[in-house]
């Protein structure tokens, strides 16, 4: 039950109020980067490498430069003169902006052409002649670690192999000992393939350098405008572009999902060109460039093992990961966490022994390791543990729901310390799964399945009961490039009692303009309708690390509540002054302070704010504004129980999702309509990698499905009608008890779907299939089992 | 080399000199500054650029401006007014049929023709009807609901409840 403390007019927490931002979007009045048009603006296009690994012998721009309207062709050698040809990644690795001699992956930026309009720029791009000397690329991450593999990152002094880093957590010896003596051990090898976020808006920017004032305004598709401003200052500070001379504006963003966190070479080149020409430069990548060259997600090869007693008690897990980062580690993880929060992979289960290790390698593929609508590497971890849990249940001959119920951490055992060092804040896993089973009618479905099996029909039921970890993060452990991962809110209430609130985050569709207003409405009683939320302009908004990894509500949302509470404290003082009573005699109810026992003696928040400007108490600072930088004491741990039912055609192996029930627990709910919407969207982005999406490379490093013609983003037809619901276990440490939700479903859905499909096929002895699970993969697996012939 | 074409967009007539290779979507966005029509791909896959050409929904990235010579085109800016939203616009907001809003104009334009042809579509018909339009944010549940809402309203019936079914 969602209970609301405020009236619908105030529209605080729990009200499904309609979104404010929609008004402009439904009328075509959103303002996205490509909608920006500045006088004298030039257009940039990028020449890209057809090879995955090649030496650049020569770049001939003479024909391109002859085309009327072409202003310049920029190469790595040109940028080198300004020391702008390299840049840091957010993981403190390095990346070429433009190459001076070698290309490291297909579709890598090789040169930029600048022209007076889009079409001319494209003509010029076609006219640039580049001579390459192709080399044999390293595509397979296992081969990259072989002793005779060519060393790819020769730019790194002293580098003698392709290994990037090793990471481990947990107790190796203890885990090995448990595995040696356990009754039952299961083991699965899984590849979580490389996928791409495909936000419907691609990436782009308009770099507008003003020579006279030595000032750069950078309009760009970024989820983290403040951090990007700092990065630009790091990259271009030596040219006099210091941080106060840079303004990053992130206008409306057409979806981000993690793909708009990194700094891409195109942004830097656009800045360089604007800096050199003194003209605004627009760069908008097309979809194929976006798919082929922008940071990908996932690409983890995991060996996952679980040990348990014969009675079905989990004893330990062990994960070993090979992470293929492509040409550079361009993930956007907190710096102390090269595998992100993968160590959440011990799951929702109560056991105390685990060991995880990971090694990362370079290959000749695009850089990355960014998210795909998930908190840092949590999807990989959850897939591994949830698949493994099913395998173990099967090995023990137990029902997977029963096995989970038996092993869940109990509600009363929170806060709970995980064997990899996390302190889970709260949860009620039994309640979530129980609810999901009731809603879907689990027992009936199992009976139906038994009947169908007798008839030889393939029906599967899959469960996933995941624990997320979001809201990065506490400053003691979490930073990106040294900047602590707090987030911020500044609230100004105007004399008439209407407010503007600014944040260090940046919505890309999450609905912050509405939900943040609701948090402030809850705390101050000012109607959400009259609270204007602004983000994305580094000149006006307080510093923050941005929106990704479901961190907005846990960090900036908390900052909003705390800033509003500071204002409420001030309001109490003013009310006491106006009512001529002491502060202790006042009682708060949303929207007003009244005198205890005399409710008719009251001052509304509007009266109080007006007084703050017109009649403030002597000795008090005038005005009504507050700022808070919120440093979370812990992460938040949303959870969910998902159940999926599939039917598989015995002839064509077509997989039909018959039902999918998702029960999410994201703590207290700010706006149930928005939460539900986030869950729907996340589920479809969980379906996508489970059944459709994968970026495929051949042995020469050519991408085989680099356009939307063959990279399968689910449409409304593939996407089932999601059934959603919730349980509420508030976060005990978060000011409003919320946990964050945007990514839970993307994390939780793939194993539910995979488990359902494997469940259907378990009659043939199949225990695992790698996602995406396609009819063809099923066909291959059944052929390998000898169930069907060629 | 350019050619003069005349198009009526949202009721306003424009005569524009265009290169024969100019895509209609670029004419709309860049020459006529109607930026509500979006571009999401280069393979005619996403539908973000959908407009109505003589009443029929079409992906404006797939048509040359010169092919639209003489045509009457409606873009999202020609749908409803701030005071009187079109039932589809209202439905998308009421049913939370959008998150980032990037696919929304295309979805609405596509749904206009869909409802024109089939005023009372089933869920299945709606899903197939918008299969040429990608949305990466919403998971489509609420887009379907938004179109059903608009359909009811256009038929003059009571609109379904828009409270979230979040049990
Ligand atoms: S931009 Fe026209 S279909 Fe994608
Ligand atoms: S609302 Fe973002 S793509 Fe549809």
The number of CA neighbours under 13 Å toward the Cβ of A488 is 19
pLDDT surpassing 80 at residue A790 = no
Between CA A342 and CA A320 the distance in angstroms is 11
- Non-local CB neighbours of A722 within 8 Å, separated by 6+ positions: A660, A662, A679, A680, A683, A684, B139, B141
Burial class from Cβ neighbours inside 10 Å (0-12, 13-18, 19+) for residue A765 reads exposed
Q: How far is B59 from chain A (nearest CA, A)?
A: 15
Between CA A163 and CA A140 the distance in angstroms is 13
Between CA A304 and CA B77 the distance in angstroms is 53
pLDDT band for A752, please (50, 70, 90 cuts).
Answer: very high
Contact yes or no for A323/A300 (Cβ under 8 A): yes
- Non-local CB neighbours of A454 within 8 Å, separated by 6+ positions: none
Interchain CB distance below 8 Å, A724 and B131? no
Share of residues in chain A with pLDDT > 90 (%): 95
Residue B50 CA to ligand 1 center (angstroms) comes to 7
pLDDT, tens digit (0-9, with 9 covering 90-100), for A338-363: 999 999 999 999 999 999 999 999 99
- Give Dmax over CA atoms of chain A in angstroms: 90
Contact yes or no for B144/B126 (Cβ under 8 A): yes
The answer as to whether A192 is a domain residue is no
* Same-domain status, A26 and A37: no
* Cis-peptide, bond into residue A415, ω within 30° of zero: yes
Q: What's the whole-number mean pLDDT along residues A275-297?
A: 96
pLDDT, tens digit (0-9, with 9 covering 90-100), for A316-328: 999 999 999 999 9
Give the model's pLDDT for residue B154. 98
- Please check whether residue A782 touches B, CB under 8 A: no
Give the model's pLDDT for residue A375. 79
> Tokens at residue A347, please?
């799951």
Closest CA to A712 of A774, A757, A755, A656: A774
pLDDT surpassing 80 at residue A259 = yes
The residues of A assigned a catalytic role are 223, 373-374, 743
Contact yes or no for A287/B46 (Cβ under 8 A): yes
Q: How far is B70 from chain A (nearest CA, A)?
A: 24
pLDDT surpassing 90 at residue B118 = yes
pLDDT, tens digit (0-9, with 9 covering 90-100), for B64-76: 999 999 999 999 9
Contact yes or no for A388/A754 (Cβ under 8 A): no
End-to-end Cα spacing for chain A: 54
* Same-domain status, A254 and A300: no
Of A68-72, A426-430, A545-549, B69-73, give the lowest mean pLDDT range.
Answer: A545-549
Q: Which residues of B fall within a CB distance of 8 Å from A41?
A: none
Between CA A384 and CA A182 the distance in angstroms is 20
Residue A268 CA to ligand 1 center (angstroms) comes to 27
Residue A38: closest C-alpha in chain B: B30
Domains annotated on chain B, with CATH: 3-78 (3.10.20.30), 87-154 (1.10.150.120)
Q: Which of A509, A675, A716 sits opposite B137 (nearest CB)?
A: A509
The answer as to whether A756 is a domain residue is yes
What are φ and ψ of residue B34, in 5° steps? Answer: -100, 95
> Tokens at residue A78, please?
């040109």
Structural domain boundaries enclosing A213: 33-135+203-284
Closest CA to A504 of A563, A450, A446: A563
What distances in angstroms separate CA A449 from CA A376, A393, A647, A651, A760, one per listed residue?
A: 36, 17, 10, 18, 9
Between CA A97 and CA A86 the distance in angstroms is 5
Q: How far is B136 from chain A (nearest CA, A)?
A: 6
* Same-domain status, A223 and A112: yes
> What is chain B's percent helix, strand, coil content, to nearest 5?
35, 15, 50
* Same-domain status, A686 and A645: yes
- Give the domain-ending residue among A630, A657, A685: A630
Place of tokens 């840092």: A376
Q: Which of B21, B93, B100 sits opposite A509 (nearest CB)?
A: B100
| CATH code at position A600 | 3.30.365.10
Helices (H), A474-531: 512-524
Q: How do strand A163-170 and strand A353-361 relate by DSSP bridges?
A: antiparallel
Q: Which residues of B fall within a CB distance of 8 Å from A674?
A: 96
The answer as to whether A481 is a domain residue is no
- Report the atom number in ligand 1 closest to the C-alpha of B44: 3
The residue count for chain B: 167
Into how many domains does chain A fold? Answer: 3
Between CA A248 and CA A243 the distance in angstroms is 10
- Non-local CB neighbours of A155 within 8 Å, separated by 6+ positions: A94
pLDDT band for A369, please (50, 70, 90 cuts).
Answer: confident
Closest CA to B9 of A225, A227, A769, A28: A28
Q: How does DSSP classify residue A457?
A: -
Give the model's pLDDT for residue A1. 76
Give the model's pLDDT for residue A481. 85
* Same-domain status, A408 and A557: no
pLDDT band for B164, please (50, 70, 90 cuts).
Answer: confident
| CATH code at position A262 | 3.90.1170.50
Residue B136 CA to ligand 1 center (angstroms) comes to 14
The residue count for chain A: 790
The answer as to whether A144 is a domain residue is no
pLDDT, tens digit (0-9, with 9 covering 90-100), for A146-157: 999 999 999 999
Give the model's pLDDT for residue B165. 75
Give the model's pLDDT for residue A197. 96
Q: Which residues of A fall within a CB distance of 8 Å from B135?
A: 200, 716
Q: What's the whole-number mean pLDDT along residues A676-683?
A: 97
């Amino acid at each position: 039950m969602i209970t609301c403390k405020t009236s619908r007019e105030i529209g605080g927490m729990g009200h499904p109020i309609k979104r404010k931002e929609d008004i402009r979007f439904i009328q075509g009045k959103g303002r996205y980067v490509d909608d920006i048009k500045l006088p004298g603006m030039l257009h940039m296009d990028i020449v890209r490498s057809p090879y995955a690994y090649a030496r650049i012998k020569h770049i001939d721009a003479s024909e391109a430069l002859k085309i009327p309207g072409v202003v310049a062709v920029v190469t790595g050698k040109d940028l080198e003169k300004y020391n702008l040809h390299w840049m840091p990644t957010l993981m403190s690795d390095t990346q070429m902006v433009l190459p001076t001699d070698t290309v490291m992956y297909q579709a890598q930026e090789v040169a930029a052409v600048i022209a007076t309009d889009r079409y001319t720029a494209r003509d010029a791009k076609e006219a640039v002649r580049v001579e390459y000397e192709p080399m044999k690329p390293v595509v397979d991450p296992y081969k990259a670690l072989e002793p005779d593999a060519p060393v790819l990152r020769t730019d790194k002094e002293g580098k003698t192999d392709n290994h990037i880093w090793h990471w481990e957590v947990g107790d190796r010896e203890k885990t090995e000992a448990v595995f040696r003596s356990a009754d039952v051990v299961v083991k699965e090898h899984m590849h979580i393939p490389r996928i791409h976020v495909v936000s419907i808006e691609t990436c782009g920017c308009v770099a507008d350098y003003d020579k006279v004032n030595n000032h750069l305004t950078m309009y760009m598709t970024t989820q983290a405008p403040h951090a990007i401003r700092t990065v630009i200052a790091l990259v271009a500070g030596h040219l006099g572009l210091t941080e106060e001379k840079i303004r990053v504006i992130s206008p409306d963003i057409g979806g981000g999902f993690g793909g708009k966190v990194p700094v891409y070479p195109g942004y830097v080149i656009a800045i360089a060109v604007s800096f050199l020409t003194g003209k605004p430069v627009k760069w908008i990548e097309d979809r194929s460039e976006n798919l082929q060259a922008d940071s990908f997600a996932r690409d983890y090869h995991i060996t996952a093992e679980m040990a348990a007693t014969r009675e079905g008690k989990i004893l330990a897990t062990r994960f070993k990961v090979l992470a293929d980062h492509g040409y550079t580690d361009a993930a956007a993880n907190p710096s102390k966490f090269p595998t992100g929060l993968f160590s959440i992979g011990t799951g929702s289960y109560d056991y105390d022994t685990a060991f995880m290790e990971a090694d990362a390698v370079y290959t000749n593929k695009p850089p990355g390791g960014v998210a795909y609508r998930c908190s840092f590497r949590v999807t990989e971890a959850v897939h591994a543990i949830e698949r493994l849990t099913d395998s173990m249940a099967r090995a023990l001959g137990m029902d997977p729901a029963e096995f989970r119920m038996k092993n869940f951490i109990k509600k009363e055992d929170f806060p709970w310390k995980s064997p990899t060092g996390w302190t889970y804040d709260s949860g009620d896993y039994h309640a979530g799964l129980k609810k999901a089973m009731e809603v879907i009618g689990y027992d009936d479905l199992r009976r139906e399945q038994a009947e169908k099996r007798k008839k030889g029909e393939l029906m599967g039921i899959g469960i996933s009961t995941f624990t997320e970890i979001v809201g990065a993060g506490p400053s003691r452990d979490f930073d990106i490039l040294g900047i602590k991962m707090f987030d911020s809110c500044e609230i100004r209430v105007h004399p008439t009692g209407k407010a503007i609130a600014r944040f260090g985050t940046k919505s890309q569709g999450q609905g912050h303009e509405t939900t943040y207003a609701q948090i402030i409405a809850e705390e101050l009683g000012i109607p959400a309708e009259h609270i204007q939320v602004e983000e994305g302009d580094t000149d006006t908004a307080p510093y923050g690390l941005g929106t990704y990894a479901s961190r907005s509500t846990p960090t900036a949302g908390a900052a909003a509540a705390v800033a509003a509470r500071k204002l409420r404290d001030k309001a109490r003082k003013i009310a006491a002054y106006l009512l001529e009573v002491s502060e202790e005699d006042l009682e708060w109810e949303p929207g007003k302070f009244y005198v205890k026992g005399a409710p008719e003696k009251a001052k509304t928040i509007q009266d109080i704010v007006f007084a703050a400007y017109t009649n403030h108490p002597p000795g008090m600072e005038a005005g009504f504004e507050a700022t808070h930088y919120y440093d979370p004491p812990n992460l938040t741990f949303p959870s969910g129980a998902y159940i999926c039912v599939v039917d598989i055609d015995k002839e064509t192996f077509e997989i039909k999702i018959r039902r999918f029930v998702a029960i999410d627990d994201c703590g207290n709910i700010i706006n149930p309509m928005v939460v539900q919407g986030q869950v729907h969207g996340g589920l479809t982005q969980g379906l996508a990698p489970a059944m459709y999406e994968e970026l495929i490379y051949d042995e020469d490093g050519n991408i085989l499905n680099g356009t939307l013609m063959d990279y399968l983003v689910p449409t409304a037809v593939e996407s089932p009608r999601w059934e959603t619901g919730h349980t509420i276990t508030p976060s005990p440490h978060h000011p409003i008890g919320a946990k964050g939700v945007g990514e839970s479903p993307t994390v939780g859905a793939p194993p539910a779907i995979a488990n359902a499909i494997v469940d259907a096929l378990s009659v043939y002895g199949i225990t695992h299939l790698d996602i995406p699970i396609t009819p063809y993969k099923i066909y291959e697996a059944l052929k390998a089992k000898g169930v069907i012939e060629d | 080399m350019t050619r003069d074409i005349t198009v009526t967009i949202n009721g306003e007539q424009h005569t524009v000199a265009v290169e024969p290779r100019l895509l209609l979507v670029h004419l709309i966005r860049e020459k006529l500054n109607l930026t509500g029509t979006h571009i999401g791909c280069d393979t005619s896959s996403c539908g973000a650029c959908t407009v109505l050409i003589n009443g029929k929904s079409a992906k404006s990235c797939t048509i040359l401006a010169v092919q639209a010579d003489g045509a009457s085109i409606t873009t999202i800016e020609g749908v409803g007014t701030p005071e009187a939203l079109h039932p589809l616009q209202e439905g998308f907001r009421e049913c939370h049929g959008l998150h980032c809003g990037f696919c929304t104009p295309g979805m609405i334009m596509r749904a206009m023709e869909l409802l024109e042809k089939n005023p009372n579509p089933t869920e299945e018909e709606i899903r197939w009807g918008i299969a040429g339009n990608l949305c990466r944010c919403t998971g489509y549940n609420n887009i379907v609901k938004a179109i059903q809402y608009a359909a009811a309203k256009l038929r003059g019936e009571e609109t379904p409840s828009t409270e979230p079914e979040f049990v």
